[in-house]
Structure 1
Amino acid sequence: MRKMVGAEFNELVAFFDGMARTKWLGAIHDTLKEKTGSWQDQDVLDVGCGTGRLLLRGADEAASLTGLDLSTEMIKASQQNFFYHEYSQKSEFIVGDACQLPFSSQQFDLVVSTCVMFLLPVPQEGIREMLRVTKQGGAIAMLNPSVKMSQQEAFQYCKNHGITGFEQTTMLKWANVSTKRHRYDEEGLRLLLQQEGAQDVEHHSVLEGLAMITYAKKR
């Protein structure tokens, strides 16, 4: 599986920002924020931050917010969003590779990543890096498609819930990419995380089992 390059995503900023603002993905971001608890006084990193929409949910609480993305244009959009919302003083956005994070070990209290790990040629490398830069006793949280995810299942979900137009398009595109990359069952992802130094792994089903939020502590 070929390595991703940032240029692939530079022209998709508007699409991904729109996707992050859909009701279905917005609700998942809300749930992920809820499952990670308060970000009060925490240093938080989002790996594959896109346009920064997830980080904005905890911007009032966190001590610092850092976003990393492979795309220079996504980083520019994140910087603009945080400037607009007046959070520039506590945020930093960096172009970088999820498999080679340019941060010190044990630098962050919380590391999150949505719609990214499953895209990597070797997701375990990205997960290992997430845990490396997490402080001892800190936590990571991810969103990944489950083994149940497919275009057919995603289309049926949209049909059942009256999801149409751009909202439907984004979900079907995510489903299509997931079938070509990586999908997880709970036990397989739990074992992978434990092998890399995580504990207290919890899975939270979303989209009626088509995807899952995974939360784990660093040993």
Structure 2
Amino acid sequence: MRKMQGEEFDSLVSFFDDMARTKWLGEIHDELKHASGSWENKSVLDVGCGTGRLLLRGVEEASLLTGVDLSTEMLKASKQNFFFRNRVEKTHFSVEDACDLSFENNVFDLSLSTCVMFLLPEPEEGMKEMIRVTKTAGKVVMLNPSLRMDQSAAFSYAKKHGMSGFEQTSLLRWSNVSTKRHRYTSEELSEKLKTLGAKEVNHIEVLEGLAIITVAQL
């Protein structure tokens, strides 16, 4: 599978920003934020930060919020969103390859990634990098589609919950992409992360089992 290019995502800024503000993904971000624990005085990294909506949830707690993305346009939108909140001084944004981060080892207290690892040609390389740059006793928290995610299952979920318009379209689009990339069971994710050095791995099913929040304790 070919290497991803940032330009592929430059034209999708509005779509991803709107998706991050949907009810379904917004609620998952809230649950992931809760599962990650307190961000108080912590240095937090978001790999594939998009427009920064997840990091914004901890802007009043964290000491430093770092967002990385392949897309320069996504990062411009992130900076703008933090500018509107008057919190630019607590942030650092840079263009980075998730599989080859420029940071030193053991830098961040908490590393996050939502809707990204499963897109990578080699997701294990991205997970390995997240663990490498996270401090011992820190956490790595991810969101990935489960093996049960596909367009039919997503459509059934959307219909059951009365989703329509962009709420439904964005979920179906995510499900369609996931079937072309990588989907996981909780057991597979646990095995990969423990092989890479995680001491303990726990999972929370979201979207009624169509996606998985994974919390790896280092």
TM superposition score category, shorter chain reference: over 0.9
Deviation at 1:37, TM superposition (A): 1.1
What is the match of residue 170 of structure 1? Answer: 170
CA distance in 2, matches of 1:212, 1:205: 5
The answer to whether 1:74 aligns with 2:104 is: no
Q: Output the amino acid matched with 1:30.
A: D
What is the match of residue 93 of structure 2? Answer: 93
Deviation at 1:102, TM superposition (A): 1.1
Q: Which runs of 5+ in 1 are unaligned?
A: none
The answer to whether 1:35 aligns with 2:22 is: no
1:106-134, CA deviations, whole angstroms, 9 ceiling, x for partnerless residues? Answer: 00000000000000000000000000000
Residue 204 of structure 2 aligns to a residue whose secondary structure is strand
TM-score, L = length of structure 2:
0.99
Residue 39 of structure 1 aligns to a residue whose secondary structure is coil
CA distance in 2, matches of 1:90, 1:207: 32
CA distance in 1, matches of 2:199, 2:154: 31
CA distance in 2, matches of 1:96, 1:138: 21
Q: Output the amino acid matched with 2:82.
A: F
TM-score, L = length of structure 1:
0.99
What is the match of residue 194 of structure 2? Answer: 194
Moved over 2 A (4+): none
Alignment of 1:17-56 (within 5 A): 17-56=17-56
Deviation at 1:200, TM superposition (A): 1.4
Q: Output the amino acid matched with 2:170.
A: T
The answer to whether 1:210 aligns with 2:205 is: no
Q: Output the amino acid matched with 2:43.
A: D
CA distance in 1, matches of 2:180, 2:27: 25
Q: Output the amino acid matched with 2:108.
A: F
Q: Output the amino acid matched with 2:112.
A: V
- CA RMSD after TM alignment: 0.4
Aligned residues: 218
Deviation at 1:199, TM superposition (A): 1.7
Q: Output the amino acid matched with 2:197.
A: G
Alignment of 1:142-181 (within 5 A): 142-181=142-181
Alignment of 1:115-130 (within 5 A): 115-130=115-130
1:47-105, CA deviations, whole angstroms, 9 ceiling, x for partnerless residues? Answer: 00000000000110000000000000000000000011111011011111000011110
The answer to whether 1:137 aligns with 2:119 is: no
